[in-house]
Amino acid sequence: LYRHGDRTPIAPYTNDPYKNESLWPVPFGQLTNIGKNQHLLLGCWLRKRYSGFLSDVYTPYDIYVQSTDVDRTLMSAEANLAGLYPPVKNEIWDNNIYWIPIPVHTIPAQEDYVLKASKYCPRYKYELEKLLTSPEMENIKKANAKLFAYLTKHSGENINSIRAVEHLYDNLYIETLYNKTLPQWTKSVFPEELKPLAILSFMIEAYNKILQRLKAGPLLGEMIDHMVKKTQHTLQPDRKIWIYSAHDETIGNLLMTLNVFDPHPPPYAAVVLIELRMNSKNQYFVTVSYKNTTEEPILMTLPGCDTLCPLNEFINLTKDVVPEDWERECQISRNEISSSDVIGNYWI
């Protein structure tokens, strides 16, 4: 599971001195050439890691690639595959283009409860709003009331939530990456004052067991299902790798759900590797690794298990956060619906 590569800001804030799209290399929210190269290199790294495991020649019996239905994730997957599968021998179809087309699958966001996790779920909405109005979150908002007011005054946006702070932080962060001079008013708050709240925003969507179960649980459940079928020799086709191209919050939500998240904003092209391994005694283990820089990935240890976690223990440790029937578990009673309507939604 990886995050897309470098992009332009999703949307400028009202008083943004760089809100004219012509000041950017590509339109807002799109993958840049830097981002394409990041994923080309990541694909090359994956090819090296899985050399001898994955065939050098592309075959749909080896690999399945799924992306959220967003330009930058679809394009990142395509760039990544160019590095993972450089054409060999009879795959070369044009001597001027050292590339082969490989399918990247997606579904509309409103139907996607696995990867984008954006299909409407009444229970998730209710539980998230319950969290956001909890004493813990209200205290965080109160503690940052002056900061919110300051940001609202200078940005021109209504900054009244943790998510709104993260959006502003993201814009300012990208502008610094592109060597743009930030307004004077940002000097006293960016990055020091904003970063802790931006980091918190990557924890909130999967803050507790019920949110984890409904948000990242379907993706984790799909991964586990593939691994179990692989061990039972019932996987059809008998693929070796699934690749998921998604977003920073997808990374954060999965790591939160596995209880291994070291809170931070996941960087461009960060990748989580969940690998099924077999030892000489035909025993199956799962490893979870996280690569968030150009360096080698870090092995993660699930609480209650070893770094090399037996598959059965991995399944047992995650059973509380994998839904049995997502559609059914998303349902709530009429009383809860009316309560949810009263609370209102100021997160999404």
Which residue numbers are catalytic?
A: 4, 248
Q: Which residues contact 339 (CB under 8 A, 6 or more apart)?
A: 126
Phi and psi (nearest 5°) for 246? -150, -140
Q: Where are the beta strands (DSSP E) in 223-310?
A: 241-246, 271-278, 284-291, 298-300, 309-310
Q: Cα torsion for 280, 284, 286, 291, to the nearest 10°?
A: 40
In contact, 144 and 197? CB cutoff 8 Å: yes
Place of tokens 């932080």: 169
Tell me the CA distances in angstroms from 258 to 5, 86, 253, 330, one per residue in order. Answer: 24, 33, 9, 21
